[in-house]
Structure 1
Amino acid sequence: MGLQQERAIRTRRLMLKSAAEVFDREDYASARLSDISARANMSTGALHFHFANKEELAQAVVSEARGTLWHAARTAYERNSEPLQALTDVSHTLSQLLSWDVVARAGLRLDNDRSRRGREQFLHAWHAAVQRLLDRARQEGSLAQQVHLQAVTCAIVAATTGIGVLIKGGEAERTQLAFTGFWQGFLPGLAVPDLLGRLNPGGTTELVEYALATSRYLPCSPEEALGTERAASGVS
């Protein structure tokens, strides 16, 4: 990678982080490009050179957030063979990531902002992930017979997304407690009795920490992240 390309990547990351900090503080409608450019210590004209308008910049923040959250969730999922514990661990991983990563946090909020078009990318992806894990739990005999898959999927998605949107920076401990409390109340209605005692509503600490650690310094977009992973695995 040449020096000019490295500089362009650093500039883009600075812009996205500055935009995320403003979007995290303001809603989409109230955020101004002049505030974002000032936070990045650059002119509004320089910002427009990279992004045509506020929506394009917001979409870039959402895209980077999606890549980071997707990577963290997949890491937590792949390292846990029990689907209900995997679901719990994924939710804890995402919540901790939202607590310390302003781009992930702002991206989630932008995705749920009703003043924008083309929203709910996270919501649809999270719904699909929850449904897959519950389907797997039923197939493996982990899920209690009385559980209605569609109803429970909607309930988990609504509750966890709602908590996620309310997360603020620097609230990792409080966020961990909130999700632990949610799963303490929810898992007894999901799991078969023989499994319940082996599930940890607080998440598998070492697994969550590993997923977070591998997601801290990802490239700026899901496409870049995928390219990095393919290069590391030797896939062309």
Structure 2
Amino acid sequence: MGLQQERAIRTRRRMLKAAAELFDREDYASARLSDISARANMSTGALHFHFANKEELAQAVVSEARAVLWRAARLAYEKNSDPLQALTDISHTLGQLLSWDVVSRAGLRLDNDRSRKGQEQFIRAWHACVQRLLDRARREGSLAPHVQLRSITCAVVAATTGIGVLIKGGEGDRIRLALTGFWQGFLPGLAAPDMLGDLNPGGTDVVDHVMRASRYLPIDGDDALGAQAAASGRT
């Protein structure tokens, strides 16, 4: 990679972070490109060289967030052999990442912002991921026989997404506590009785492993899209 290309990548990332910080602090409608460019320490003209308008910039933040979140989700999935523990660990991983990474946090909110006609792609992909893991749990006998997959999938998605949307920066401990409480109340009605003792509602060491990896590993867009497709059952 040449020096000019590296500089362009760093500049783009600086713009995305500045935009995410403003979108995280204000809503999409209130955020102004002039404020974003000032936060990135560059001119509005330089910002327009990379992004035609605010919507294009917001979509870039959403795409970056989706790549980061689904890379982390895939890593957590690959480290778990039990689908219910995988589901628990993925939710904790995403909660920690949303607390730590402003781009992921802003991207999730922008994706669900009705003022910009967000496409809710993350929620739809998360719904498919939850459904796939619960389907697998049923096939493997770790799901309680009375569980109705459709209603339980909706409940898990609603609860975890609701917690995710409310996350603020630096609230990792509080978010882990909230998700632990959710799984402590939810897993006893979800798991087969002989499986419950093997599940950790607070998440396993997989969560910390993935968070360390997410801080230092570069995100590849194609790889992240593959992760999203795998999570939603399309690969």
TM normalised by structure 1 equals 0.93
Alpha-carbon separation, structure 1, partners of 2:200 and 2:118: 36
Conserved 8 A contact 1:13-1:220: no
State the AA in 2 paired with 1:17.
K
Runs (4+) of structure 1 exceeding 3 A deviation are 217-221, 224-227
Q: For 1:71 and 1:215, how far apart are their aligned partners in 2?
A: 8
Mapping for residues 1-236 of structure 1, pairs under 5 Å: 1-204=1-204, 206-219=205-218, 222-223=221-222
| In structure 2, C-alpha distance between the alignment counterparts of 1:32 and 1:218, rounded to whole Å | 31
| Letter paired with 2:201 | P
| Separation (CA, whole Å) in 1 of partners of 2:24 and 2:118 | 19
* Aligned AA (1:162): G
TM-score by length of 2: 0.93
**Identity %, equivalent residues:** 80
What is aligned with 2:229? none
Q: Give structure 2 stretches of 5+ with no counterpart.
A: 227-235
Say how many residue pairs are matched.
Answer: 226
Could you list the per-position Cα deviations for residues 119-174 of structure 1 after superposition, in whole angstroms to 9, with x for gaps in the alignment?
Answer: 20100110000000000000000000110000000010011000000000000100
Distance, in Å, in 2 between the alignment partners of 1:226 and 1:112 is 19
RMSD, matched Cα? 1.4
Query: What letter corresponds to residue 192 of structure 2 in structure 1?
Result: V
CA contact (8 A) 1:64 1:221 kept: no
Contact in 2 for aligned 1:64/1:103 (Cα 8 Å): yes
Aligned-pair CA distance for 1:222:
2.1
What are the ranges of 5 or more consecutive residues in structure 1 without an aligned counterpart?
228-236
In structure 2, the residue corresponding to 1:168 is in which secondary structure?
coil
Using a 3 Å threshold, how does the CA distance of structure 1 residues 55 and 220 change in structure 2: closer, same or farther?
A: farther
2:115 is paired with a residue whose SS is coil
Question: Structure 1 224/32 Cα, relative in aligned 2: closer, same or farther at 3 Å?
Answer: farther
Indicate if the aligned counterparts of 2:70 and 2:224 stay in contact, CA closer than 8 A.
Answer: no
Post-superposition shift, 1:116?
1.4
Give the AA of the match of 2:139: Q
